[in-house]
């Protein structure tokens, strides 16, 4: 179709691995990347595990791009740069191959963290926060805090690394951010603003403040159980999300640009829909009406009927509210076709990557379309009667996947859906 945009490169870093094929093979095997947190002391937090990228993978990232990573301590920046570089390598594109002014970068991420150390170090018991001294000593702030790492930094560094100097954007729309970044990149190409766009998401909230935020929201599971069993999407015993970290970046190209250079096409990105629940900041609309609008708009944009979609990579957080609302929404959108639909949740394997989740999840979706196999939903042992779709609990499923959708539904009621179809 003339509006389709080609996916020619994909790169990812997750708790399952720091490269595409390793993450995919482990996902198909139903392995869990959720493990006890190792990067900081967790004795005071009632959290048994997270989808944390292991230290050996962090060391590998620094070795692959030593110049870009020199002195870099912000985890999500490391993830972003590595995933972007991997996407370029996967696409067979080296910096300088694409016209800089016709090449863009769009990234989704979370808001940077105001580290508690950066408040305490310049605060006194009597005088409060010393703004003047803070300004003089700004170079002493924590390397992972907001003042050195504003949200747009990953976008800027990817642009510098890739020499992509065309349209740029950074989105911070919570859990919908990466999916909206990819949809924005697709629209840039469709409108003729760019020939190629690196887009996706990178995030990490696996630090004391980040984890405390999800506990205060009542969103994270506090179950005392083996880490690999914590994330239980659509299961009767699900008790909350499990935080993950990482990145997923795709290289999108116009069909003309991809064909001109003889690029391999993994799949075609053909639809994007987004909506707002307009309901409640910390909970989805229980009727799923925002999710319905997002999916319907994405299918309309793709020119596909619901019956033409074989697979849904669900938002599937493992929270009581999301999973039932998303199931309702899928059933409303797909109608009678919902009985034949295959659904699974990547978060059961890698945790919830917050602002980045739509990146790796769309990559998994594109691989399902390209290779005709779907990864399982882990830990679905006691199905919730209200979640009665086909969630693939038994293991990877080989099946024809001519088209699929990926859902990302964020805090604040922000929703995004992407549609991919086969390249041929």
Give the count of alpha carbons within 13 A of 112, CB side only.
Answer: 19
Residue count of the chain, please give it: 424
Which listed residue (142, 207, 352, 375) is catalytic?
A: 352
CA distance 364 to 368: 6
Give the number of other CB atoms < 10 A from CB of residue 371. 14
Which listed residue (6, 142, 175, 257) is catalytic?
A: 175
Q: Is 175 part of the annotated catalytic residue set?
A: yes
Q: Is 257 part of the annotated catalytic residue set?
A: no
| Token pair of 39 as six digits | 């990067």
| Token pair of 14 as six digits | 């997750």
Q: Is 387 part of the annotated catalytic residue set?
A: no
Give the number of other CB atoms < 10 A from CB of residue 384. 18
Among 339, 346, 341, 348, residue whose Cα is nearest residue 381: 348
CB 103 within 8 A of CB 275: no
Give the number of other CB atoms < 10 A from CB of residue 138. 12
CA distance 194 to 254: 8
Which listed residue (142, 207, 315, 375) is catalytic?
A: 315
- Backbone torsions φ then ψ of 56, nearest 5 degrees: -65, -35
Q: Which residues are catalytic?
A: 175, 315, 352
């Amino acid at each position: 179709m003339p509006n389709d945009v080609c996916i020619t490169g994909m790169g990812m870093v997750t708790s399952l691995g720091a490269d595409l094929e390793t993450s995919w093979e482990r996902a198909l095997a139903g392995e869990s990347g959720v493990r006890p947190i190792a990067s900081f002391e967790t004795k005071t937090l009632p959290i048994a595990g997270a989808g944390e990228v292991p230290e050996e993978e962090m060391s590998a990232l620094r070795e692959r791009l030593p110049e870009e990573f020199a002195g870099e301590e912000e985890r999500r920046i490391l993830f972003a740069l590595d995933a972007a570089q991997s996407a370029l390598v996967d696409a067979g594109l080296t910096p300088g191959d694409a016209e800089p002014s016709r090449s863009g970068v769009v990234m989704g991420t979370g808001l940077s963290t105001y580290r508690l150390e950066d408040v305490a170090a310049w605060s006194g018991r009597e005088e409060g926060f010393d703004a003047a001294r803070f300004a003089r000593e700004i170079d002493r702030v924590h390397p992972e805090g907001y003042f050195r790492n504003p949200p747009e930094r990953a976008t800027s560094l990817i642009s510098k690394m890739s020499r992509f100097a065309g349209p740029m954007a950074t989105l911070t729309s919570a859990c919908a951010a990466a999916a909206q970044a990819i949809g924005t990149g697709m629209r840039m190409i469709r409108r003729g603003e760019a020939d190629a766009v690196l887009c996706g998401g990178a995030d990490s909230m696996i630090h004391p403040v980040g984890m405390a935020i999800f506990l205060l929201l009542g969103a994270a599971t506090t179950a005392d159980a083996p880490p690999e069993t914590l994330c239980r999407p659509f299961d009767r015993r699900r008790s909350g999300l499990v935080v993950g970290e990482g990145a997923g970046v795709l290289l999108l190209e116009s069909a003309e640009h991809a064909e001109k250079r003889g690029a391999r096409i993994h799949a075609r990105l053909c639809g994007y829909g987004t909506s707002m629940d307009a309901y409640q900041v910390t909970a989805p609309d229980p009727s799923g009406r925002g999710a319905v609008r997002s999916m319907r708009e994405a299918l309309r944009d793709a020119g596909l009927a619901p019956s033409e979609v074989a697979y849904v990579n669900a938002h599937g957080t493992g929270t009581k509210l999301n999973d039932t609302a998303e199931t309702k929404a899928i059933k409303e959108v797909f109608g009678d076709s919902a009985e034949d639909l295959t659904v699974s949740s990547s978060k059961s394997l890698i945790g919830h990557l917050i602002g980045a989740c739509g990146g790796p999840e769309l990559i998994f979706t594109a691989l399902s379309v390209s290779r005709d196999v779907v990864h399982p939903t882990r830990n679905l042992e006691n199905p919730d009667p209200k979640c009665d779709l086909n969630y693939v609990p038994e293991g990877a499923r080989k099946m024809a996947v001519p088209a699929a959708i990926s859902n990302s539904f964020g805090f604040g009621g922000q929703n995004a859906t992407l549609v991919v179809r086969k390249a041929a």
